[in-house]
Every structure is written in C-alpha cells, then in structure tokens.
Amino acid sequence: MVSMEEKINLIKRNAVEIVTEEELRSLVENEERPIAYVGYEPSGEIHLGHLMTVNKLIDLQNAGFKVKVLLADVHAYLNEKGNFDEIEKIAKYNKMAFVALGLDDSKTEFILGSSYQLEKDYILDVLKLARITTLKRARRSMDEVSRRKEDPVVSQMIYPLMQAMDIAHLEVKLAVGGIDQRKIHMLARENLPKLGYYSPVCLHTPILLGLDGEKMSSSKGNYISIKDSEEEIKKKIKKAYCPAKKVEDNPIIDIMRYHIFPRFEKVIIERDEKFGGDIEYTSFDDLARDFEAGKLHPLDLKDATAKYLNKLLEKPRKRLKEVIN
C-alpha cells in the first residue's frame, strides 16, 4: 500500500514547479482518481524532451491519477505545423510512441483535439474566454511556444484560449507541461473560474537542454530521438557538451537526472582499474556530487549515459518498428 507521502513525493519528483503544493495535496487526499493531462502538438520526432512529460504521466498513473493525453491537431494547425491530413498521420504515430515509451494504454485516454474542439459549446466557451482576456495577455502566453514570436498571426492568439478550454472540457484537475507552458496555465487558473470551471493545479517539468548545451531545436538536430539507433545515440552522446565538474546546465547530467535514475534502481559506471574501477550509484545526488568534485570523468559519464539510454530506448524502438512495419 502506497502512503500519501509516497504518492506526493512521486508526483513532485523532478518537477520544477507545482502551483500549488497545498492544492495538489488536497486533490490527492480527497479525490480517488483525479484527471491529469498533457497536450502535445503532433510531432514527427519524439525525443527526450517529450519523455520529460511522459515520465511524469507514468509517475501520475502510479500515484492513482487517470491520465488523458491530448493529441492537439487543431493547435498544431493554428501554430503552422502542417495541414490536417499530415497532422492526423503524425498524431497516430505519436500515440504509438507514447505507449511504447511506457504509458499504460489501458489507463491512458488519448484524445484527438478535433474530436471535440469544433463543437458549438466548446467554441462558445473559447469566445467567452476571449471576452475576458486582453490581447496583451494572450500574446504573452504564447511567447514560449509560438513559431512567430516577433510577428504572430491571429490564430496564435486563439491557441492559448483553446488550451485553457481544453483543461475545462476534459475535466482536468492537474495540468502538466514543460515550464514553457506556465503562462498559458496561469491564464487558465485565473480565468476558468470566471466561466464556472475548476481552476487546475499545475505541474511544470524542466525544459531539457539540447546536446550542445543550447535550446533544443529540430533545426539544429541537437536532440536524441527515440528512432535513433544504438550507434547514433553513442555518437551523439560522445560529441555532447559535458564540461568537467559542472552539474548545472549540463545536458548529460540532465539525462541522468531526468531519464536514467527514474527508470533504473542503480547505475554502474564502468572504468578501468587504473582509474579506480567500476563505481555503483543508487541515487542521482551521489553521482552529481562525485562529478562536481572531479571524481567522475566526463568521458566515463558519457559512456554510462549512452549505455543506459540505449537500454531505456531498446524496447520502445523495437516496438515502434514492429507496429509501423
């Protein structure tokens, strides 16, 4: 039997912010299976950045939440990610990828945005929200996720209003997303009650750095895709930015923190005897402490990261190939 504190700690693990912890505790204590959700614009490349929120949804399932995943095809269209036929095909692939990465298909409800976002009641609610949201607030909410930050189109002002109404219409109690979603979530928390809807608790995960230490970008190719082969992952990790003794803003350390340790009970760093031999870690904090003290070389850390990352992605990669073929 999992205790209340164990549930709370599992939910909070690797979260950069919860708004608010008091509301989260009340939600867990008073509701049997509250609904948590993440919305994803369908993407052709599912990478470690997506896995940040997938990992959190798995934690939430284990903590007793009902999980809804919104495959936001209308949002993707508004944000200039392709036409509806293209986006729908990608959405189907995304669902397969998220299940392959560990989401329990029997406990996860996958919802295509266009299945309800074109209905009259939903559209009317979006228009009602537009009546009480300033243009400045809507534009500011899109700063982190828009493709046209400098010269946005009108569709991108509708985007955050729809995201807020998704939370209401999907009966979400806990909205999950990267910290770049914060302004949109705060818009929902502030304005949904004015329309008679629940103000959601919000949980934000960190934004994973690209392998070069810069912002992750598909145009730069500075990420690891779940499609990458074992050899491709080894090559990418070997070339990655990983300055000695630096823990903060180190993409290799972050992969260990957010992806390896949550999935493995222990991590063994393999080293030649002349460099001290193998060393075993059962907690990320111990590994980070040794790395910062110079007791762990970046190359040894990279080798271990590539090894465990390939272990983590081996089954998802194989399962996706089987399903697609």
Strand ranges for the chain from DSSP E = 17-19, 35-40, 66-71, 108-112, 174-178, 201-205, 267-269, 279-281
The answer to whether the beta carbons of residues 41 and 77 sit under 8 Å apart is: no
Determine the pLDDT at residue 144.
63
Determine the pLDDT at residue 323.
66
DSSP per-residue letters across 222-258:
-S-BTT--HHHHHHHHHHS---TT--TT-HHHHHIII
Determine the pLDDT at residue 145.
64
Q: Which residues of the chain have pLDDT under 70?
A: 1, 144-150, 323-325
The answer to whether the beta carbons of residues 180 and 145 sit under 8 Å apart is: yes
Rounded Cα–Cα distance for residues 160 and 152 (Å): 13
Rounded Cα–Cα distance for residues 204 and 14 (Å): 9
* 138: its two tokens: 């809507």
Q: Three-class SS of residue 87?
A: helix
> So where are the chain's domains?
4-205, 230-324
The answer to whether the beta carbons of residues 71 and 91 sit under 8 Å apart is: yes
Determine the pLDDT at residue 113.
97
**Residues in a beta bridge with 18:** 203
Rounded Cα–Cα distance for residues 70 and 290 (Å): 40
Determine the pLDDT at residue 148.
58
Determine the pLDDT at residue 97.
92
Instruction: Write the pLDDT tens digit of every residue in 1-12.
Output: 678 899 999 999
Q: Which CATH architecture group holds 230-324?
A: Orthogonal Bundle (1.10)
pTM to 2 decimals? 0.91
- Provide the 8-state DSSP code for 301: H
Which superfamily does 4-205 belong to? HUPs (3.40.50.620)
Report angle CA 314, 315, 316 to the nearest 5 degrees.
95
